[in-house]
A and B are shown apart, each in its own frame.
Chain A
Amino acid sequence: MRGYVLRRSLLAVLQCLMVLVAVFALGSLLPGDTADVLRGEHGTPAQVAALRTQLGLDEPAWARFWHWLGGLCAGDLGNSLMTGTPVAEDLGRRIGVTALLGVPALVLVTALAPLLGTVSGLREGSRLDRALNSAAVLLHAVPEFVLGLLLVAAVSLAAGLLPATAVGMDTAALLAQPAVLVLPVSVLTARHLCDLTRQVRVGVAAGRHGTVATHLRLLGMRERTVVLRHVLPGALGPAVQQYARCVEGMLGGAVLVEAVFGLRGLGSGFVEAVQNRDLPQVQAYALLFAGVTVAVNLAADLAAYRLAPRREVTA
C-alpha cells in the first residue's frame, strides 16, 4: 500500500510541476511580453524597456519562474491585463455561480448513481434497466452545448416551462430564482450520471453472480446483506475512478453549459480570458482547472486502490 501511495503521489507532484512549467511557458509563447501589452502602441522603446526592468522581465527565465512561483504561493495571481483588477478577485466573484451549478450536479450524481446502478444491476433486463441503457447510449458523448440547446428548445420554447437563459445574473440573483438553474444543472448531470450508473450496474451484475456472493448465500446470509455489504463495495472500486473522470468532465462541461445559458461563472470567465488573450487570467484559470484534475485523479486512484488493492490501477 505504502509503495503504491508513494509512487502515485510522486506522479501527481510531477504532473503539477509539468502544469506549472507549461502555464509559465505560455507567457513566452505570446508575441511580445507583458510590457509591450501594457504600454500598448503608444509606448516609446525607452518606456517599454523601463517598464520591463520594473516588472523584472529582463531577468533570466528561471529567476522569473521562481518569482512567479513565490507569488503563487503567497496567493498573488497577478492583475488582469484588461481591467487591472487582481485576478483572484475575479475568480472569487465567479466561483459562486459555478458552485451553484457544480455542487447540485455532484450531489445528484453521488446520490443517484449507486442507487440506480444497484437497482438496475439487481434487475437485469427490467424496464428501468433498459431505459437507463438507452439513456446512457443516447447521452454518451453528446456535447453539453448540443444537449442544452435541444433541451431549451423542447422545454422553454415548445412547452414554455422553464427560463431559457440566466444572462447577467450573479450568485444572489440565481439563489433567489432557483428555477433558472434547473436546465443547466440537468444538462451538466445527465451524461455523467448515466456513465457512472452504468459502471456501478456492471459491477453489481457481475458481483451478484460471482462465487463470493454464491458462497455467502449458501452460508445463509440474507440477500440484502450480501448485496449491501459485499456486492456493492466491490462495484464501487472501479466506479471511483469513473467518478474522478466525471468531476473532470464536469469542469469542461461547466464551460459549455455556462456559455449556452449565459451564466457568469468560472467557465465563461475562462472563455472570456482566452478571447481577450488576458494572460494572467488565462494562467490562473489553467492552473485552477489542471490542479483540480490532478488532485481529483490522485484521490480517486488512492481510494480505488484502497477498495480493491490487487486491481492494477491506471493513473
Chain B
Amino acid sequence: MTVRWRTGAAGGERGRRPSWTALALFGVPVLAAVLGPWWGPSGPWTEGALPSQPPGAEHPLGTDVLGRDMLWLVLHGGASVLGGVLGALLIGMAGGVPLGLLAAGPRRGLDEAVMRALDLLLALPGLLVLMVLAVSGHRDWYWLVTAAGSLQVPAIARVVRGAVLAPGTRTVVEALRMQGHGWAYIHLRYLPRELAAPLATDTGSRFAVVLYLLASANFLGLGLPAASPDWAVLIERNSDALFTQPAAVLVPAGLLTALCVGGNLLVDHVLARQRSTR
C-alpha cells in the first residue's frame, strides 16, 4: 500500500520541499476533530429549526435531515473518526508487534506456526468481517474498532518480522548477545529503536486503510448509532437530501477526503525524503 512512484531527480527535489498542501489538507480535519468538541453551544438543537435547510444567517452550514445545526455536528463528528482510527491502529500494533517479534525469534517452528496462522486470516476481506460482526449482535463502537484493529495484525506482524530479520539488524542482535547483553536490553532498548522507522512508515500508510474501513462500516450503519455526529454517519443520513441541502453531505465528505488525501500526501512526502537521503 505504500506509494512507490517517484524516482530520479524530480522525487528528490519534491521530497525536500515542505509540502504545505499536504499539511493543510491533513491539518484542517484534524484540528476540526480535536478542537471542534470544545466549541460552541452544548447541543445541535435550536428552537423552530426546519430540516434540510440550506446555509443561512442562523445556521452557517444549514441544518441536517433532523433539523440539527450542521456546523455543530461537523465540529463534533471528527472526534469519533480520528479516535476510531487511532484506537484501531494501537490495537493492531499491540497484537502485531509481539507476534512479529515472536516469529522473528530463534525458533523456526514457532515462526512457521505464527506466520501460517496469520496467513489464514488474510483470506478475510475487511468489510466482510465487520458486516458479519454486526449480524452477531456486536454492534457497539468498540467492537468495530477492535475488529478493524485485529484485521491489521497480520500485516503489522509481517512488517515487524521483516525489519527484525533484516541482515543488518540480525547481525547486531547476534553481536549484542555474544557481548552478554540480556533479553531485556535487546528487546526493550535496541529493537524498538530499529523498529521505529519502518513501523512509523507502515502506520502512516495503514492510517488510510483503517480510515477507509471504519468510515465505510459507519456509512453502512454497522457501528455508530444513526444519531451520531460522525462524519460518515452524517453523509449517510443526509445523502437523500443531496439535491436540496448539498452542504450537509459535501462538508463532511470534503473533510473525510481531506483527511485521506492529506495523510496520503504526507506519507508519500516522508517516503520520498527517506529515499533521497539514502
In the bound complex, do residue A30 and residue B132 qualify as a contact, i.e. CB atoms below 8 Å apart?
no
In the bound complex, do residue B127 and residue A252 qualify as a contact, i.e. CB atoms below 8 Å apart?
yes
Contact of B260 among A141, A164, A260 (CB under 8 A): A141
Task: State A29–B132 Cα separation when bound (angstroms).
Answer: 11
Interface residues of A in 136-171 (CB under 8 A from B): 136-138, 140-147, 149-150, 152-153, 157, 164
Report B245 CB to chain A, min CB distance, Å.
11
Q: Which residues of the other chain, A, contact B265 by a CB distance below 8 angstroms? A: 137
Q: Does A103 contact B (CB under 8 A)?
A: no
Q: Which residues of the other chain, B, contact A9 by a CB distance below 8 angstroms? A: none
Residue interface mask B187-223, A partner, CB < 8 A = 1: 0000000000000000000001101100110011110
Say whether chain A's binding surface is mostly helix, strand, loop, or mixed.
helix
Chain B CB within 10 Å — which of A142, A146, A147, A275 has the most?
A146
Q: Which residues of the other chain, B, contact A125 by a CB distance below 8 angstroms? A: 8, 10
Task: State A141–B126 Cα separation when bound (angstroms).
Answer: 14
Q: Does A297 contact B (CB under 8 A)?
A: yes
In the bound complex, do residue A150 and residue B135 qualify as a contact, i.e. CB atoms below 8 Å apart?
no
Task: State A143–B231 Cα separation when bound (angstroms).
Answer: 12
Q: Does A18 contact B (CB under 8 A)?
A: yes
Task: State A314–B122 Cα separation when bound (angstroms).
Answer: 10
In the bound complex, do residue B242 and residue A150 qualify as a contact, i.e. CB atoms below 8 Å apart?
no
Contact of A146 among B221, B222, B253 (CB under 8 A): B253
Task: Report how many residues on chain B are interfacial, defined by Cβ distance under 8 Å.
Answer: 52
Task: State A124–B146 Cα separation when bound (angstroms).
Answer: 42
For B207, give the chain A residue with the smallest CB separation.
A141
Q: Does B116 contact A (CB under 8 A)?
A: yes
Q: Does A15 contact B (CB under 8 A)?
A: yes
Q: Which residues of the other chain, B, contact A256 by a CB distance below 8 angstroms? A: 216, 219-220
Interface residues of B in 1-21 (CB under 8 A from A): 3-8, 10
In the bound complex, do residue A143 and residue B136 qualify as a contact, i.e. CB atoms below 8 Å apart?
no
Task: State A109–B132 Cα separation when bound (angstroms).
Answer: 29
In the bound complex, do residue A290 and residue B208 qualify as a contact, i.e. CB atoms below 8 Å apart?
no
In the bound complex, do residue B5 and residue A136 qualify as a contact, i.e. CB atoms below 8 Å apart?
yes
Task: State A153–B249 Cα separation when bound (angstroms).
Answer: 9
In the bound complex, do residue B137 and residue A29 qualify as a contact, i.e. CB atoms below 8 Å apart?
yes
Contact of B135 among A136, A137, A149, A279 (CB under 8 A): A279
Interface residues of A in 7-40 (CB under 8 A from B): 11, 14-15, 18-19, 22-23, 26, 29-31
Interface size class for chain A? 35 or more
- Known contacts A30-B137, A141-B209; A149/B239 CB under 8 A: yes
In the bound complex, do residue A282 and residue B132 qualify as a contact, i.e. CB atoms below 8 Å apart?
yes
In the bound complex, do residue B126 and residue A315 qualify as a contact, i.e. CB atoms below 8 Å apart?
no
Task: State A157–B127 Cα separation when bound (angstroms).
Answer: 30
Contact of B216 among A11, A19, A252 (CB under 8 A): A252
Task: State A297–B125 Cα separation when bound (angstroms).
Answer: 11
In the bound complex, do residue A137 and residue B264 qualify as a contact, i.e. CB atoms below 8 Å apart?
yes
In the bound complex, do residue A290 and residue B123 qualify as a contact, i.e. CB atoms below 8 Å apart?
yes
Q: Does B128 contact A (CB under 8 A)?
A: yes
Contact of B123 among A150, A270, A282, A293 (CB under 8 A): A293
In the bound complex, do residue B216 and residue A153 qualify as a contact, i.e. CB atoms below 8 Å apart?
no
In the bound complex, do residue B242 and residue A164 qualify as a contact, i.e. CB atoms below 8 Å apart?
yes
Q: Which residues of the other chain, A, contact B3 by a CB distance below 8 angstroms? A: 136-137, 140, 198
In the bound complex, do residue A146 and residue B123 qualify as a contact, i.e. CB atoms below 8 Å apart?
no
Interface residues of A in 263-293 (CB under 8 A from B): 270-271, 273-275, 277, 279, 282, 286, 289-290, 293
Contact of B219 among A14, A30, A259 (CB under 8 A): A259
Pull 22 A–B residue pairs with CB atoms less than 8 Å apart, ordered by A.
Answer: A138-B261, A140-B3, A141-B208, A141-B209, A141-B211, A143-B212, A143-B216, A143-B232, A149-B249, A150-B257, A153-B249, A198-B4, A205-B7, A248-B125, A251-B125, A255-B131, A256-B220, A274-B132, A274-B222, A286-B128, A290-B125, A290-B128
* The 6 A-B residue pairs with the shortest CB-CB distance in the complex, in nearest-first order: A141-B208, A15-B123, A29-B136, A252-B127, A315-B119, A142-B260
Binding site for A on B (CB under 8 A): 3-8, 10, 116, 119-120, 122-128, 131-132, 134-137, 158, 208-209, 211-212, 215-216, 219-222, 232, 235-236, 239, 242-243, 246, 249-250, 253-254, 256-257, 260-261, 264-265, 268
Not counting A147-B257, A164-B242, a sample of 10 additional A-B residue pairs whose C-beta atoms are within 8 angstroms of each other reads A26-B135, A137-B268, A140-B208, A149-B235, A149-B239, A150-B257, A198-B5, A201-B5, A256-B216, A290-B128
